[in-house]
Structure 1
């Protein structure tokens, strides 16, 4: 039986919907690919990066309340979060948004 994303502690319906937009629909999939890859997919799907959202996921996968994230552990997670953000930004570099593509088709946006 597949469990919903919201079955992961600390995650609710809004987070579940965001992961669904990124193509992740089960808690098992997040556990399988891990928090970093799951969060990267979330960013690549257009979600805005938010550090709390990332460490809430990490803590939840460990079965811990999000308030456990403190001190050195939080600093280490911030470094991982910043790397994920940078990877998401690099992977989208050079890609046009749907709006830019439509404007380009109309001849409004210069070709890159």
Structure 2
């Protein structure tokens, strides 16, 4: 079960203090803020700030909001999430990495 929306993001499965510090830079402090902004837009914000988060952070946010381990994000969903990120101008990663 996922904690209340007012709880800190570090209380989600998969997200600890390090992830919470990173998300704070993107303006995300609570579970409710992450839910409202969404994992993909939060990831984009991190890229725009010059961070280079692993895609595992994206999977972790998505799964954490469902109360699941990030390994529960299936390949089909990963492809969909990556497609949402593709073309993000702030994404500094090479195209071959973006297309993964």
Whether TM-score is above 0.5 comes out as yes
* Equivalent position of 2:65 in the other structure: 61
1:8 is the counterpart of 2:12 = yes
Distance 1:81 1:55, change over 3 A: farther
What TM-score do the two structures reach when normalised by structure 1?
0.66
What TM-score do the two structures reach when normalised by structure 2?
0.72
Secondary structure of the 2:62 match is: helix
Computing the radius of gyration from Cα coordinates, the structure with the larger value is: 1
* Equivalent position of 2:22 in the other structure: 18
* Equivalent position of 1:31 in the other structure: 35
Secondary structure of the 2:46 match is: helix
Contact kept? 1:54, 1:81, Cα under 8 Å: no
Runs of 5+ unmatched residues, structure 2: 93-100
Q: Which whole-Å CA distance do the structure 2 matches of 1:48 and 1:36 have between them?
A: 14
* Equivalent position of 1:88 in the other structure: 90
Q: Which whole-Å CA distance do the structure 2 matches of 1:64 and 1:81 have between them?
A: 22
Higher relative contact order, structure no. (Cα contacts within 8 Å, ≥ 6 residues apart): 2
Secondary structure of the 1:88 match is: coil
Runs of 5+ unmatched residues, structure 1: 91-112
Q: Which whole-Å CA distance do the structure 2 matches of 1:82 and 1:49 have between them?
A: 15
Superposition misfits of 4+ residues, deviation over 4 angstroms = none
Deviation readout 1:3-50 (Å, 9 max, x if unpaired) = 111122211100000011222221211111111111111222221032
